[in-house]
Amino acid sequence: MACLLTPDDEAFPAALRRIADPPQALHVFGTLAEADRKAVAVVGARRASPYGVAVAEWLGRELARSGVTVVSGLARGIDAAAHRGALEAGGRTIAVLGCGVDVVYPPEHAPLARVIAGAGALLSEYPPGTPPLKHQFPRRNRLISGLSLGVVVVEGREDSGALITADCALEQGREVFAIPGPVFSPTSALPHRLLQQGAKLVSSVADILEELHLPAAQPHTAAVRLEGPEALVYAQLSFEPQHIDQLAARCGLAAPEVSRALLGLELGGLVGVLAGQRYVRARGSDDW
C-alpha cells in the first residue's frame, strides 16, 4: 500500500529536505530504509546499446553488493538495467516515477516495478492516479539526484534527459560520474561531454566508492571455466550484436553446435540474446 510522507515526517528522506525545491509530499510504495542514505543514481538513455545495458546492470550489481542503494527512474534502457542489476545482487533499489506510484510507465515494466517495491521503493511526488505527462519527467529528475550522493551517467544522446539529472546534481552539490563509450556511438555524446566538463570517469565501481568515501565490498572471484565449443564461441562474442550464423562462421563450427553452445552460455548468464537471434556478452566483469 502506498503511504504519504511530508517533509515533517521522520521517515522523509533527509537528503531531499535540503534541496532547493523539495517536494511538498512523497508518495511511497514499498519501504525507505536508513541504508538509503548511501545511494547512487544510475541514469542514461532509453534507447541504449547492448554495451550500455551491460554496463548499467554491472554497476547496479556491484553497487548493491557494496551496500549502496541504486536510484533510477524505471525508464526503458539504462534505468531498467540498473534496477535489474541491483535486484539481481539482492540489494536495495529506488525508482522515482514521473507519474502516480500506482501508474507504472512504461507499462511493460509493471512486473519489474512490483519487484522493486518489494526490495526497495517506488517514489513519486505526484498523487496516485496521476497519468504520465511529459513535463513531469524532467521535474522528477531533481529527486533522483537529490536522493543520491552521486549520479552516474551511462549513455545518452546530446539532448538526453540524463543531462537534466546531471545539471540538478551539480546544483544540489552531488558528484557527477560518467562512463566512457565508443566514440562512434551517438549514445556516447552526453557522457563524453560531461567528462570534458569535469565529471569523474568511471572504469570500476571502486572509482565511485572512493570518491564518495564509501567502503568497498569484498572482491569476489566468479571465474567461470569454459571448455570446448562454449569457450570457442564465447571468445568470439563482444558487445557488438552478432547473429548466430556470423558466430558459426567465425568459430568454424556447424550451426547446430553453435546453437547448443550459445544456449549453455545463456543459461550460465554469460551471453544475452537480442531480437533477431543476435548475441552479445552479458557482463563485463571478467574483462575489467
Partner 1 sequence: MLARVRSAAVLGLQAYAVDVEVDVGGGLPALTIVGLPDAAVQEAKERVRAAIRNAGFEVPARKITINLAPADVRKAGPAFDLPMAVGILAATGQLDGARLDSTMLLGELSLDGSIRPVTGLLAIALAAREQRLPSLIVPERNASEAALVEGIDIHPAPTLARVIAHLSGRAPIQPFQPPEASGPGPDACEHDFSEVRGQEHARRAMEIAAAGGHNVMLVGPPGSGKTMLARRLATILPPLIWPEAIEVTRIHSIAGLLPGGGGPVRVRPFRSPHHTTSTAAMIGGGGRPGEITLAHHGVLFLDELPEFHRDVLEVLRQPLEDRVVTVARAQLTLTFPAAFMLVAAMNPCPCGHRGDDRVECVCTPPQVARYLGRISGPLLDRLDLHVEVPRVPPADLTAPVVGEASSAIRARVCAARERQTARFAGTCAANALMTGRQLRRYGRLGDGAREFLRSAIERLGLSARAHDRIIRVARTIADLDGAEEVAVGHLAEAVQYRVFDRRLRLPA
Interface with partner 1 includes 250 (CB under 8 A)?
no
- Smallest separation, CB 148 to partner 1 (Å): 25
- Smallest separation, CB 272 to partner 1 (Å): 7
Interface with partner 1 includes 244 (CB under 8 A)?
yes
**Contacts of residue 146, Cβ cutoff 8 Å, sequence gap at least 6:** 15, 16, 19, 22, 168, 172, 174
How many residues interact with partner 1 (rule CB under 8 A)? 32
- Pick from 21, 108, 159, 210: which binds partner 1 (CB under 8 A)? 108
Cell numbers that stand for 61 in this block:
550489481
- Pick from 18, 37, 114, 243: which binds partner 1 (CB under 8 A)? 243
Interface with partner 1 includes 237 (CB under 8 A)?
no
Interface with partner 1 includes 263 (CB under 8 A)?
yes
Interface with partner 1 includes 270 (CB under 8 A)?
no
- Amino acid present at 181: G
Interface with partner 1 includes 44 (CB under 8 A)?
no
Interface with partner 1 includes 278 (CB under 8 A)?
yes
- Smallest separation, CB 85 to partner 1 (Å): 14
With CB under 8 A as the contact rule, which of the stretches 2-10, 41-49, 191-199, 210-218 interacts with partner 1? 41-49
- Smallest separation, CB 141 to partner 1 (Å): 21
Please report, as ranges, the residues that interact with partner 1 according to CB under 8 A. Answer: 47-50, 53, 76, 106-108, 241, 243-245, 248-249, 254-256, 259-260, 262-264, 266-267, 272-278
